[in-house]
Structure 1
Amino acid sequence: MRLIKLNIIKLSLVILGCFSTTIAAKDYLIDNKQAYAKIANTLQAGDTVILQNGVWHDFEIVLSGQGSKQLPIRLKPQTKGKVILSGQSNLRLAGQYLHASGLVFKNGYTPTSAVIEFRNGKELAFNSRVSEMVIDNYNNPDKRESDYWVALYGQHNRFDHNHLEGKRNKGVTVAVRLNSEQSQQNYHQIDHNYFGYRPVFGSNGGETLRIGTSHYSLSDSHTLVENNYFEQTNGEVEIISIKSGKNHIRNNVFYEARGTLTLRHGNGNIIEENIFFGNGVEHTGGIRVINKDHIIRNNYLEGLTGFRFGSGFTVMNGVPNSPINRYHQVENAQIENNTFINVEHIQLAAGSDAERSAVPINSVMNNNLIINDSQQPFTAFDDISGIKFSNNIANTAVLPSLSKGVKQKQVKLKRNKAGLLYPVSESVFAGAKADLTVLKKADTGVSWYPKSPAIVAFDSGKTHRVENSAKDLLLKIEQAHSGDVLELSAGDYDLAKLVVIDKTLSFKAAQDGAVNLTFERSSLFEIHDGGSLKLEGLVISGKNSPDSAGNSVIRTKKWGMVENYRLIMERCQLINLDINHTFDFFKTGKGALADEITLINNQFSQVTGDILRLDSEIENLGVYNAEYVTLTNNHFDNVSGALVKLYRGGTDESTFGPHFLLNNNTLNSVGLGKRNQTNASVYLHGVQVTEIAENAFTNSAPIVVEHTVGEPQTRIISNTFTNTAKPHIKELNIAGSHTAILKNNQVIQK
């Protein structure tokens, strides 16, 4: 009886203690930064800080204290989504059992190295959580200035149900840092986040998620990444970059995402039950394998077009006795029960060269299903006897070296309720498990913030009729919204002001050839952040331009663009670009990157400069100015400079482009001006994909192509070169003959 009474007393004291702690917990409704500063250092377990609805400008929040599992210290908004952190704002967590949620970061950028950081100086966060946060286009205006949006330090932290979209400046979107013992063996959880559009960055530094760095890659992280949705995360070739050991990546969806889930450094990672939907989008990739002891199983990959390091599935060659930051040999990789449907490229021993000569060893590829509508997908770049193939099924004949381990069989597929294709026959045992689930986009991120389309389409808004006056045109430009069309009535428009394009606008002649644009400034249009430009049916003349060198019809902001842009021109006439020397049609500013520049059915005559000058990035850091450049059915006559100067220098291999297409154009007297230092009608340096087909070159300078890193694909086919030298191809990084394909071209001397 005495023992029972004693236990009752002890239980009563515990309950009383918990009750007392609950009573002591406080709710603080904060309406300004000074009020937050007063209570920030006094927060106790169970306290809740509520930020009043509104826009908080330049607010650097430090949430610190010692909460408990039952009574965390909380930071939240008065209403989810109604507290906007703008300007130079950020959030840092330091202590134990902290939980921040429901805030929106937009219209600004972090003043420090991260927008949200699980540390404050040397004090780290443990057992803490960040959820239902939104970071929307919160970018440093200097695109090359690096920062993280989220940096996880400490141990046992969770980052979940957040919405991250539109990171454009350099730096990883979410980084798990292992740069101290307190941040290793961390067991973080990253789940149910929506990773929205990240545009092509145009150089290294555009990863969406990175776990570790090469320096600490032999340390284990034990980070769990599950149930996240990656939509069009196109920054660079590595979407997820694993640079540590013992991580678990499962049940994530990659939707039309250019790049791969890359096991870049570290050992013993598990990659399972992830879904890759490429939908035939260019450069969509799957999984890239490097290092040892990885398990890759039950993943579903469909419609992936990527190649080389960005292919649907890649097993790399390593560097013998590799330094920690290069490529370690693939060893003991278990690649089992994966489904590959219309995956164009499965590349084995990829990257094989004089340095990367360590082939995969002691690895297996078992019970995988490989179905392709066209050709078989396998390419072997070196000895692959170290990968044992067994019980795989493909519907096409594969490489002879794989035929014993890959059975050819016709397999009928049917799409199930989850949207995945599976064999109809129960006798097919290869491929991903039948009950694989597909995470829904709506189940990630937050419900109260829209997952809007990333890019405003041309001609998607209203059409505004412009009467025959420059004044009315400028007024309609100011009044228009992104996606709108300005339809110009016939007549002459002389623009005395530079037209700044900071939204998506189309300028269209009501009647092709009946609208004449002239301009009195050194340029007619200047593209700024947020701007994209489409021109149709216009006649543009440089006759009223300043009588000085260096004019242009279109240019980007000279420096400091952080947003990619698009330029499309169709059925236009460009004349009299010769008021002085070096009059370019288009020239880029430093740091600007075009998603696309497309010229179709245009006529250019009397140009003293270049048509497209895309060569401002001369530091050889792997940076370039345009992802896709396409010229089709245009006529160029008497152009002193080059048709295009497209430059990508350096040795970095993490980008997809540039891409260049020149098809069915006519060039007469192009590239022969004394100021054209390239001595080329077309000058391409470091371009990754080039196709020049069915063009007529007459009395022009030659094509000059300089191959650098990667495996550049150059095809020059069925062109006519009249009184024009044949194309000149240089290999700058490898010995021997060039790798370009030249066929069916005619060189005619008269």
Structure 2
Amino acid sequence: MKILREISVTIFILIFFSCTTLTGVLNAAIGPNKIPFHELETYLSKNPSIDTVFIKNGEYKDTEIKIYGVNRDLKILPESIGGVKISGKSTLTFVNSSKISFSGFEFYGIANRSAIIIDHSNEIRIFNNLFDRCGAFQFGKIVRITNGASYNKIYNNTFDYLKSMGVVVDVSSSDDVKLLSKQNEIFNNVFINIPNVKAVYPNSDGNGLEAIQLGQGSPKAMEKEIQTKVYNNLFINIIGDRSEIISVKSSANFIFENVFLDNDSGITFRVGNNNVFSSNIVYNTRSGLRVFGKGHLIDKNYFEGGSSGIIIPAANKSNENANTLEGSFYFQPEDIRVERNLIINPESSGINIGSKFSNSRKFYPKNLIIEENILLTSEKSSPIVSAGNEDISIYEKKNRNLRTELDKSNFNTEMDSINNVIRAARKFELKNSKLGIDWTKN
């Protein structure tokens, strides 16, 4: 099957990405450049030409560090791998800085709204760190990218049992383009064991704890094209608010080649236009992908299990003059392409159109292009497309529903690479790796 080959070839590259090795660098942790974490700010100001700093091993609690105006190639490393634990009300902030690497640290039980803030800073690299049980508020931001911070990279980190949102790119409601954080990359990370919001914050409304949030809730997010790339990440055993592992509230973002495994939640294009969801594996993840807004592309993804693979609901607002509105709304899905996806054994339908349609949600999805998708079912008969108030025959002609053909031999070769990626994710779960992970090589 051509569709399966395309998915397999694209996804298979997940197996080969490699994590940056720290051992060789950290073994060089000798000489005068070893300092306690709480002295980092002062040390950098007194040594403007230093290019590598080692933090002495130990636990540093309630330590606030602000690196301001450092614009050179600078590496900040622990004395030894995993030897530095940062805890309590500690936060590391980069302001008006660039070209700094920060790697090899453990953040444990951070009780602030953020562990790391990248503020109006560019080309900051945060990698090979562990964030374990961090957060003091369900809408906190463990790694926060804000105020025009662009071209930063967050990669090869483990986010375990978060009690705030994980990585967040802020989108200001201001029209000042200098405050737009653009072209940041979030890749090769593992987000694991995020609990139910209500279990951590029983008095809350149950919202929050997104692993990744790209923008916030204002309709003005539609005009904020921040071009974030989210790829090669593993999301495993996540509950959160049961709707949003990734919450997209901005435009022109690219989410591709990620693996979602065993999650009681889903992915949502909540506000914004022209986002891409491509070549992802969504396995045993309850809510699949839910989509609002205009101009999205959803292609070459693999969905297995869950309620539906792709959900395109009705909305309570049209897209006309959307940026002039104030408040939280669901905007009409429009001009969306859904093509060449493979969907296996959903509980209801492969693609659901127009759910929640009612007097209060009267804007039905329109101008949808849904074609060349394949639904495979083994023991039951599910429709490739279900729709609230339209004739689905046109969709049935342009997509394929291969009932009871899941185990046919002609699919085995094409699905091998997908199964290999899922097995790699399972091995990571069993190994329970933490710092400096490379989950695809387990």
Shorter-chain-normalised TM-score: which range?
0.7 to 0.9
1:350 counterpart SS class: coil
C-alpha distance in structure 1 between counterparts of 2:433 and 2:194, whole Å: 20
Q: Which amino acid aligns with 1:99?
A: S
1:264 to 245, 266, 270: 270
Q: Which residue in the other structure is 2:246 paired with?
A: 240
Q: Which amino acid aligns with 1:172?
A: M
Q: Please say if residues 297 and 335 of structure 1, whose CA atoms lie closer than 8 Å, have aligned partners that are also in contact.
A: yes
Q: Which residue in the other structure is 1:657 paired with?
A: none
Q: Cα–Cα, structure 1 residues 410 and 158, in superposed 2: closer, same or farther, change >3 Å?
A: closer
How far the C-alpha of 1:96 sits from its partner, in A, is: 1.5
Q: Cα–Cα, structure 1 residues 103 and 446, in superposed 2: closer, same or farther, change >3 Å?
A: farther
* Structure 2 residue 117 is the aligned partner of structure 1 residue 139: no
Task: Summarize the alignment of residues 440-479 of structure 1 with structure 2, pairs less than 5 Å apart.
Answer: 440-441=424-425, 449=435
Q: Please say if residues 377 and 405 of structure 2, whose CA atoms lie closer than 8 Å, have aligned partners that are also in contact.
A: no
Q: Please say if residues 365 and 390 of structure 1, whose CA atoms lie closer than 8 Å, have aligned partners that are also in contact.
A: no
Superposition TM-score, scaled by structure 1 size: 0.47
Q: Please say if residues 247 and 269 of structure 1, whose CA atoms lie closer than 8 Å, have aligned partners that are also in contact.
A: yes
Q: Please say if residues 36 and 56 of structure 2, whose CA atoms lie closer than 8 Å, have aligned partners that are also in contact.
A: yes
C-alpha distance in structure 1 between counterparts of 2:312 and 2:228, whole Å: 23
Task: Summarize the alignment of residues 366-405 of structure 1 with structure 2, pairs less than 5 Å apart.
Answer: 366-373=371-378, 374-377=380-383, 378-383=385-390, 390-396=397-403
What do the CA deviations read for 1:263-309 (whole angstroms, capped 9, x no partner)?
1110001110000111xxxx6231111111100000001122x3xxx
Q: Which residue in the other structure is 1:312 paired with?
A: 309
Q: Cα–Cα, structure 1 residues 384 and 57, in superposed 2: closer, same or farther, change >3 Å?
A: farther
Q: Please say if residues 161 and 446 of structure 1, whose CA atoms lie closer than 8 Å, have aligned partners that are also in contact.
A: no
C-alpha distance in structure 2 between counterparts of 1:135 and 1:331, whole Å: 38
What do the CA deviations read for 1:236-276 (whole angstroms, capped 9, x no partner)?
21111111111000000001012211111100011100001
Q: Please say if residues 158 and 434 of structure 2, whose CA atoms lie closer than 8 Å, have aligned partners that are also in contact.
A: no
C-alpha distance in structure 2 between counterparts of 1:96 and 1:421, whole Å: 38
1:182 counterpart SS class: helix
Q: Cα–Cα, structure 1 residues 410 and 117, in superposed 2: closer, same or farther, change >3 Å?
A: closer
How far the C-alpha of 1:174 sits from its partner, in A, is: 1.6
C-alpha distance in structure 2 between counterparts of 1:42 and 1:191, whole Å: 34
Q: Which amino acid aligns with 1:217?
A: A
Q: Please say if residues 367 and 390 of structure 1, whose CA atoms lie closer than 8 Å, have aligned partners that are also in contact.
A: no
C-alpha distance in structure 1 between counterparts of 2:248 and 2:397, whole Å: 28
Q: Cα–Cα, structure 1 residues 338 and 82, in superposed 2: closer, same or farther, change >3 Å?
A: same
Q: Which amino acid aligns with 2:338?
A: I
C-alpha distance in structure 2 between counterparts of 1:243 and 1:201, whole Å: 20
C-alpha distance in structure 1 between counterparts of 2:153 and 2:40, whole Å: 24
C-alpha distance in structure 1 between counterparts of 2:65 and 2:406, whole Å: 60
C-alpha distance in structure 1 between counterparts of 2:400 and 2:197, whole Å: 38
What do the CA deviations read for 1:543-575 (whole angstroms, capped 9, x no partner)?
xxxxxxxxxxxxxxxxxxxxxxxxxxxxxxxxx
* Structure 2 residue 82 is the aligned partner of structure 1 residue 81: yes
Q: Cα–Cα, structure 1 residues 29 and 417, in superposed 2: closer, same or farther, change >3 Å?
A: farther
Percent identity over the alignment? 24
How far the C-alpha of 1:389 sits from its partner, in A, is: 5.7
How far the C-alpha of 1:175 sits from its partner, in A, is: 1.0
Based on CA coordinates, which of the two structures has the bigger radius of gyration? 1
Q: Which residue in the other structure is 2:343 paired with?
A: 340
* Structure 2 residue 157 is the aligned partner of structure 1 residue 174: no
Q: Please say if residues 57 and 84 of structure 2, whose CA atoms lie closer than 8 Å, have aligned partners that are also in contact.
A: yes
More helix per residue: 1 or 2? 2
C-alpha distance in structure 2 between counterparts of 1:270 and 1:386, whole Å: 26
Q: Which residue in the other structure is 1:115 paired with?
A: 115
Q: Please say if residues 162 and 446 of structure 1, whose CA atoms lie closer than 8 Å, have aligned partners that are also in contact.
A: no
Q: Which residue in the other structure is 2:33 paired with?
A: 28
C-alpha distance in structure 2 between counterparts of 1:353 and 1:102, whole Å: 51
How far the C-alpha of 1:338 sits from its partner, in A, is: 0.3
Q: Which residue in the other structure is 2:301 paired with?
A: 299
Q: Cα–Cα, structure 1 residues 417 and 389, in superposed 2: closer, same or farther, change >3 Å?
A: closer
Q: Cα–Cα, structure 1 residues 213 and 196, in superposed 2: closer, same or farther, change >3 Å?
A: same
Q: Which residue in the other structure is 2:289 paired with?
A: 287
Number of residue equivalences: 378
C-alpha distance in structure 1 between counterparts of 2:250 and 2:364, whole Å: 21
Q: Which residue in the other structure is 1:207 paired with?
A: 210
How far the C-alpha of 1:80 sits from its partner, in A, is: 1.8
C-alpha distance in structure 2 between counterparts of 1:361 and 1:45, whole Å: 58
Q: Which residue in the other structure is 2:226 paired with?
A: 221
C-alpha distance in structure 1 between counterparts of 2:110 and 2:405, whole Å: 55
Q: Please say if residues 185 and 220 of structure 1, whose CA atoms lie closer than 8 Å, have aligned partners that are also in contact.
A: no
Q: Which amino acid aligns with 1:334?
A: R
C-alpha distance in structure 2 between counterparts of 1:58 and 1:114, whole Å: 12
How far the C-alpha of 1:183 sits from its partner, in A, is: 4.2
What do the CA deviations read for 1:639-659 (whole angstroms, capped 9, x no partner)?
xxxxxxxxxxxxxxxxxxxxx
* Structure 2 residue 146 is the aligned partner of structure 1 residue 149: no
Q: Which amino acid aligns with 1:165?
A: D
What do the CA deviations read for 1:407-466 (whole angstroms, capped 9, x no partner)?
x988825444864679xxxxxxxxxxxxx9769447999966398xxxxxxxxxxxxxxx
What do the CA deviations read for 1:567-625 (whole angstroms, capped 9, x no partner)?
xxxxxxxxxxxxxxxxxxxxxxxxxxxxxxxxxxxxxxxxxxxxxxxxxxxxxxxxxxx
What do the CA deviations read for 1:658-712 (whole angstroms, capped 9, x no partner)?
xxxxxxxxxxxxxxxxxxxxxxxxxxxxxxxxxxxxxxxxxxxxxxxxxxxxxxx
2:186 counterpart SS class: strand
Q: Please say if residues 90 and 110 of structure 1, whose CA atoms lie closer than 8 Å, have aligned partners that are also in contact.
A: no
Q: Cα–Cα, structure 1 residues 390 and 446, in superposed 2: closer, same or farther, change >3 Å?
A: same
C-alpha distance in structure 1 between counterparts of 2:423 and 2:150, whole Å: 27
Task: Summarize the alignment of residues 664-675 of structure 1 with structure 2, pairs less than 5 Å apart.
Answer: none
User: Can you give the 5+ residue segments of structure 1 that lack an aligned partner in the other structure?
Assistant: 1-25, 397-407, 423-435, 452-750
2:178 counterpart SS class: helix
1:395 counterpart SS class: strand
C-alpha distance in structure 2 between counterparts of 1:443 and 1:98, whole Å: 29
* Structure 2 residue 370 is the aligned partner of structure 1 residue 365: yes
1:36 counterpart SS class: helix
Q: Which residue in the other structure is 1:476 paired with?
A: none
2:159 to 149, 164, 187: 164
How far the C-alpha of 1:147 sits from its partner, in A, is: 1.5
Q: Please say if residues 51 and 77 of structure 1, whose CA atoms lie closer than 8 Å, have aligned partners that are also in contact.
A: yes
Q: Cα–Cα, structure 1 residues 366 and 40, in superposed 2: closer, same or farther, change >3 Å?
A: same
C-alpha distance in structure 2 between counterparts of 1:132 and 1:73, whole Å: 16
Q: Please say if residues 245 and 268 of structure 1, whose CA atoms lie closer than 8 Å, have aligned partners that are also in contact.
A: yes
C-alpha distance in structure 1 between counterparts of 2:46 and 2:397, whole Å: 63
Q: Cα–Cα, structure 1 residues 265 and 375, in superposed 2: closer, same or farther, change >3 Å?
A: same
Task: Summarize the alignment of residues 482-631 of structure 1 with structure 2, pairs less than 5 Å apart.
Answer: none
C-alpha distance in structure 2 between counterparts of 1:410 and 1:205, whole Å: 37
Q: Which amino acid aligns with 1:292?
A: K
Q: Which amino acid aligns with 2:143?
A: V
User: Can you give the 5+ residue segments of structure 2 that lack an aligned partner in the other structure?
Assistant: 1-30, 199-205, 438-442
**Higher deviation after alignment, 177-186 or 248-257:** 177-186
Q: Please say if residues 353 and 388 of structure 2, whose CA atoms lie closer than 8 Å, have aligned partners that are also in contact.
A: yes
Q: Which residue in the other structure is 1:274 paired with?
A: 280
C-alpha distance in structure 2 between counterparts of 1:178 and 1:189, whole Å: 15
How far the C-alpha of 1:137 sits from its partner, in A, is: 0.7
Q: Which amino acid aligns with 1:31?
A: P
Q: Please say if residues 145 and 181 of structure 2, whose CA atoms lie closer than 8 Å, have aligned partners that are also in contact.
A: no
Q: Which amino acid aligns with 1:229?
A: L
Q: Which amino acid aligns with 1:192?
A: N
Q: Please say if residues 33 and 53 of structure 2, whose CA atoms lie closer than 8 Å, have aligned partners that are also in contact.
A: yes
Q: Cα–Cα, structure 1 residues 207 and 344, in superposed 2: closer, same or farther, change >3 Å?
A: same
More strand per residue: 1 or 2? 1
Q: Please say if residues 152 and 176 of structure 1, whose CA atoms lie closer than 8 Å, have aligned partners that are also in contact.
A: yes
1:193 to 178, 189, 192: 189
Q: Please say if residues 349 and 383 of structure 1, whose CA atoms lie closer than 8 Å, have aligned partners that are also in contact.
A: no
2:40 counterpart SS class: helix
Q: Which amino acid aligns with 1:210?
A: Q
1:73 counterpart SS class: strand
Q: Which residue in the other structure is 2:260 paired with?
A: 254
1:88 counterpart SS class: coil
Q: Please say if residues 138 and 197 of structure 2, whose CA atoms lie closer than 8 Å, have aligned partners that are also in contact.
A: no
C-alpha distance in structure 2 between counterparts of 1:186 and 1:27, whole Å: 37
